[in-house]
Amino acid sequence: MNIVITGASRGIGAEFVRRYLDIGATVHAVSRNTDRLAPVARENKNLKLHAIDLESERGPAELAKALGGATIDLLINNAGIYLDHDSDFSHLSPEKIRKSFEVNTLLPMRATAALLPQLIAAKGTVANISSLMGSVSDNSSGGAYAYRMSKAALNMFTKSFSVDYPKLKTVALHPGWVKTDMGGENATTTVEESVKGLMKIIAELKATKSGHFYDFEGDELHW
């Protein structure tokens, strides 16, 4: 089983790497800096490190070339940023909005497009790590414009892609409020709990449920 994980050097991404290696998968870990994973790669030859900046113009193509045409059973678009924790409408930052869309929306789309032939060859799965904060119907607290809008756009990409490529399985996943650098110390879910649940959803995903939105506990979420 060949798996590609973006944003793989820490937090949720690093836990995905660890757990998929534990079940014998070949894991392609993608991050701008893979130094944190180097000791793991020395011990486990199933871990392939790709120090690639996917935000760059050539990044996705470089990744596709590095994979050498290998079929991809699972692409986890995990890379993401949250830049506007404390912002409100009166303090909007166009730069933060642009950056959020670049990383949270365009990067997953471009990575998926670059790897599409390998995904199709394997009839693979695309798992987009989204957020409940990207749900329009669940938004009762406002704020966080850049993050909310970019994750809502990622959700729409997930849905449209599932319609356009019905032979692939596609899913948007909310990992919970996770104790990572992004989630902070007050978060209620451990990385281990989150990733264990997300992996179960991915493993059990049926074609009839492609294009849906789930949290890490397996509950379907409203867009």
Question: Hey, which residues are catalytic here?
Answer: 147
Q: Which of 151, 197, 200, 152 is nearest to 178 (CA)?
A: 197
Any residues with CB less than 8 A from the CB of 210 and at least 6 apart, and which?
Answer: 162, 166, 168, 169, 170, 171
Among 140, 145, 114, 154, CA closest to 28 = 114
Distance CA 176, CA 51 (A): 27
Q: Are 176 and 189 in contact (CB under 8 A)?
A: yes
What is d(CA 62, CA 111) in angstroms, rounded to the nearest whole number?
10
Residue 28's CB: how many other CB atoms inside 10 A? 24
Element (H, E) at 21: helix 11-22
